[in-house]
Amino acid sequence: MAKRMNSLPSGQRTKRILIVEDHAILRDGLRAILADYSEFKVVSEAADGLEGIRRASELQPDLVLLDMTMPKMNGIDALVEMKKVCPRTRVLILSVHSSQSYCKAAIRAGADGYILKDSRQEELIEAIQKTLKGERFISRELRGTHTDNNKKKKDSEEAITLKSDLLTRREKQILKLIAEGYSNKEIGEMLFISPKTVDNHRTNLMRKLNLHNVQELTRYASRENLLVDEV
């Protein structure tokens, strides 16, 4: 692995990386680690999923290091949108979640790799390098247990049908934002839709879930872990 003190091989271009992580101390740590490698350059940072999508669209980086759990828009939803606005960008998910359901949800949504936040620095660099080469990287802790096909049994999370399965991706996005306390106007500005459209989604959410006010929507979102991530 080429450290900053060494020059890049002739003809090799520095890879541009965007860090999307809501904890400043972790962003700082990732930036400090990557500063030691001449093959990488951190071009920007973002603290939530919506900001991450905007930065990715503007910068078209080679790689996005994307947190799984963020405010405003979680990593899965942000990943889906990033793949639309910058399809050539590779996305490596950073996650505290070591369960199969989270890893599989990320891969299904288009992630190019999935690494746990408690991984060693050497594994992070390996993950970045392999992802940039077009190889799929899965954290060592999950290797050997992660499969896309021929699974002997379904995870217990997938075997349970929840009311939230009735919701569209957009409805889940809006439910998350409602539960985080944002107004119709603020949600509309974030998602580039009108406050009236947000209100229509709110009405549909209450109808589908048989709930009657914002407080009940918030309790439901918290109970079903929709404030954390969609898996």
Contact yes or no for 65/55 (Cβ under 8 A): no
**80 is a domain residue:** yes
Structure tokens at 119: 């991984």
Closest of 34, 93, 33, 105 to residue 64, by C-alpha: 93
pTM, full prediction: 0.66
* Residues 74-120 pLDDT 10s: 888 889 899 999 999 999 999 888 877 788 888 888 899 999 998 99
Confidence of residue 20 (pLDDT cuts 50, 70, 90): very high
* Residues 48-64 pLDDT 10s: 989 999 999 999 999 99
Distance, CA of 112 to CA of 93 (rounded, Å): 8
What are the DSSP E strand ranges found in the chain? 15-20, 40-46, 63-67, 90-95, 113-116, 137-138
CATH number for position 204: 1.10.10.10
For 190, the domain range is 161-223
**204 is a domain residue:** yes
Give the count of domains, the chain: 2
| In a shared domain, residues 95 and 171 | no
Closest of 206, 100, 226 to residue 162, by C-alpha: 226
| In a shared domain, residues 86 and 116 | yes
pLDDT number for residue 19: 97
